[in-house]
Amino acid sequence: MAIDPIQIAEQESASAVGAFDQAFTAARTAARAGEVPVGAVVVRNGAVLAVAHNRPRALHDPTAHAEILAIRAACAAIGDERLTGCDLYVTLEPCPMCAGAISFARIRRLYYGAADPKGGGVEHGPRVFNQSTCHHAPEVYGGFREAEAAELLRAFFAERRD
């Protein structure tokens, strides 16, 4: 379900817009490091708890997706394995692994930029939050700065093909 970022900013304050700014900055940092440009930010009560970008190559860890790293850092910041009342802002629809982590962390709301018809696990692919085995499903809002997120990914992969 796509929502205009201005609507969410009015509902949740300007922190939503700022969170996406930080997520896109993190995604660009990932691209400069040769990582797939995805950035994620965890916010609670308008305060940023964690910002991360994809780092599987740098960390030699296939699970080092932006969402996983942001969730880990936010959990460490608050001293709890559950992120109740927290929102996650990410530039790309999370994959099934990240969707599972979002569920286990009890993220309240997920906001993402570009859809991922090939590798997504939220509104594409296995649709993790729609499964009867899913213990917690956050509210999900997609399509934020979608064109910007998609172009960042297109440019990254086009550069690698040249």
Identify which of 102, 16, 117, 107 has the alpha carbon closest to the alpha carbon of residue 66: 102
pTM of model > 0.75: yes
Cα distances (Å, whole numbers) of residue 13 to 18, 45, 46, 91, 128 = 10, 10, 8, 19, 29
**What per-residue confidence (pLDDT) applies to 12?**
55
Q: How far apart are the first and last CA of the chain?
A: 35
**What per-residue confidence (pLDDT) applies to 9?**
46
CB-count burial class (<10 Å; 0-12, 13-18, 19+) for 79:
exposed
CB atoms within 10 A of CB 60: 8
Identify which of 117, 128, 56 has the alpha carbon closest to the alpha carbon of residue 92: 117
Per-residue pLDDT of the chain (162 residues; tens, 9 = 90+): 555 554 544 555 557 789 999 999 999 999 999 999 999 999 999 999 999 999 999 999 999 999 999 999 999 999 999 999 999 999 999 999 999 999 999 999 999 999 999 999 999 999 999 999 999 999 999 999 999 999 999 999 999 887
- The residue written with tokens 């599987």 in the block is 56
Q: Is 67 a catalytic residue?
A: yes
Catalytic residue among 10, 12, 67, 81: 67
Strands 86-92 and 109-114: parallel
